[in-house]
Amino acid sequence: MGHDSQIPEAGDFLRTYMGEDDVIVVRGEDGEVRAFLNACSHRGNKVCHAEWGKTKAFTCSYHGWAYDNMGELAAVPLEEAIYDNLDRSKLGLVPVARVQNYKGMIFGTFAEEGPDLEEYLGDMKYYLDVVLDASPEGMELIGTPFRVEIRGNWKLPVENAIGDGYHVAWAHAGAMRVVGTIGQGRGESVLGIGKDNTGFDDSGQMQVAIPPHTVLSTLDGQSGYALYDNPGPCIEYLEQVRPSVVERLGDVRGTQLLGSETHMGVFPNLQIIQGLNLLRVIHPKGPGSFEVATYSMADKNTPDEVKDIIVKHVGQTFGSAGILEGDDGDFTEAITHSPNGYATRQMKGWLGMAQGRTMDWDGPGDASPGIVNELCQREFYTQWQRTMLAESVSDILPEQSAQKESANG
């Protein structure tokens, strides 16, 4: 739903979506973060139309019912004169059942029961910590998100971002020719694929299934900045903090994951992409439409000069006018709507790449070599199916496989 850095003070709020439900996330006067449906208890009108801000009250624009920033119904115009039976204590904003925080990231669920956040994240925390816990201060989201609505199914941009290493050099060929490593003539190959979409090197790269979540990573500790035109200050800062991260998180995460192009997919709709340094949430808007919200992110300690490079880079590559982002919406739309035709609908897609290929990996999860691989996408659809077929929220998590020993904690 959001991040602590966006609402640090009492009264700070932001609006987001959980599915198609409009939700207000707010830090109350008591400092606690809560989330509520953005709907007045009287007639259901929205009580907040601002995207973010700071307030003591959310006042409905219809009849003026006012709620405090802890969700209580605080004032009803003409209350004494017109109501004999109104119990304000029972008419507060409807809370999101559970709001939980993992190292600054705020998550919510409408489910009263089922796994807690930490249980739900499970071993994914090992990977998330590379971004969320690389320093004691942790990560922050920077700026207002880019928001784009596309006429496609929400699952397509998710699995594209978390696992489709195959499309990068071809779908984005035009952009790849002009940005970063290849554009500047610094390298013949980037992210494992040669300049002309030829050649392939899956050594030292992986996709990992940590059901229900996934990770893709180049494991080289630097190629997260391969698409930057001016990566120098970023890499300099990266190497400056690396020793402290190794000390904090161990060798595997400090040397192999930190700085690598690493795409973390938290099921269902959150992607945290280190290197490109962006965080995206895909909001479904019915079966044929979705909204992408894209934020820049950085460790709080990052010097302003480096943050500025990151923010500009996110805008130029994956913002609303990002030169890579624009390519993806096109096939997302086509894949969604091609099956409107009966005969086309009978087709089955195919995600069989690298099935059965395994590799040794010191972190948690089952790893497969190469980022050009379809493991993460298979895992995503497997979990989607598991969720849809689950009889209760207790059944949405896969059976725990035996925990793998991890060499470096």
Partner 1 sequence: MAKKQKIAAVGKDTNMETAYRIERFLAAEARTLDEERYDDWLAMLDESIVYKMPIPMNTYRRNRPGKSSIRETMIYDESFEKLKQRAAREDTGMVWLNDPATHHIRTITNIESFCTDDASVYDVRSKFTLLRSRRDKDHVSHTGLRKDLIQDTNDGLKIVARTVFLPERVIVDKNLNMFF
**Counting contacts by CB under 8 A, is residue 135 touching partner 1?**
no
Instruction: State how far the Cα of 26 lies from the Cα of 40, in Å rounded to an integer.
Output: 16
Rg for the chain, CA atoms, rounded: 22
In the complex, the smallest distance separating the C-beta of residue 50 from partner 1, rounded to whole angstroms, is 5
Within residues 29-88, the interface with partner 1 by CB under 8 A covers 49-55
**C-beta of 25: minimal distance to partner 1 in Å?**
12
Please name the residues in contact with 157: beta carbons below 8 A apart, sequence gap of 6 or more: 150, 280, 282, 290, 292, 328, 332
Given a contact cutoff of 8 angstroms between Cβ atoms, the answer to whether 239 and 189 are in contact is no
According to CB under 8 A, which one of 93, 128, 142, 227 is a site residue for partner 1? 142
Q: Judged by CB under 8 A, which of 36, 126, 146, 154 binds partner 1? A: 146
Nearest approach in angstroms of CB 105 to partner 1 is 13
Of the candidates 133, 140, 299, 379, which one interacts with partner 1 according to CB under 8 A?
Answer: 140
**In the complex, least distance from residue 151 CB atom to partner 1, rounded to whole angstroms:** 9
Burial of 385 (0-12, 13-18, 19+ CB in 10 A): exposed
Binding of partner 1 by 386 (CB under 8 A): no
134 CB-side CA count, 13 A? 28
| Residue 175 binds to partner 1 (criterion: CB under 8 A) | yes
Q: Which of residues 210-269 bind partner 1 (CB under 8 A)?
A: 229
Which member of 20, 188, 305, 330 binds partner 1 (CB under 8 A)? 330
Examine the residue annotation and report whether 167 is marked as an active-site residue of this protein. yes
The token duo for 216 is 């893709």
Residue 213 annotated as catalytic: no
| Smaller CB separation from partner 1, 142 or 234 | 142
177 binds partner 1 (CB under 8 A): yes
CB 131 within 8 A of CB 139: yes
List the one residue from 61, 144, 338, 358 that touches partner 1 (CB under 8 A).
144
Window 332-351: contact mask with partner 1 (x via CB under 8 A):
-x------------------
Could you tell me if 245 and 134 are in contact, meaning their C-beta atoms sit under 8 angstroms apart? Answer: yes
Residue 17 touches partner 1, criterion: CB under 8 A: no
What does the block give as tokens for 294?
A: 């894209």
Among the listed residues 167, 229, 337, 362, the single catalytic one is 167
Q: Looking at 68, 164, 291, 379, which residue binds partner 1 (CB under 8 A)? A: 291
152 Cβ contact partners less than 8 Å away, ≥ 6 residues apart: 288, 289, 290, 329, 332, 333, 335, 336, 337
Angle, CA 395 vertex, CA 390 and CA 398 arms, to 5°: 105
| Residue 233: other Cβ atoms inside 10 A | 17
SS3 200: strand
Contact between 23 and partner 1 per CB under 8 A:
no
* Positions that interact with partner 1 (CB under 8 A): 3, 5-9, 12, 14, 49-55, 140-150, 171, 173-175, 177-179, 183, 229, 291, 296, 311-312, 315-316, 319-323, 325-327, 329-330, 333
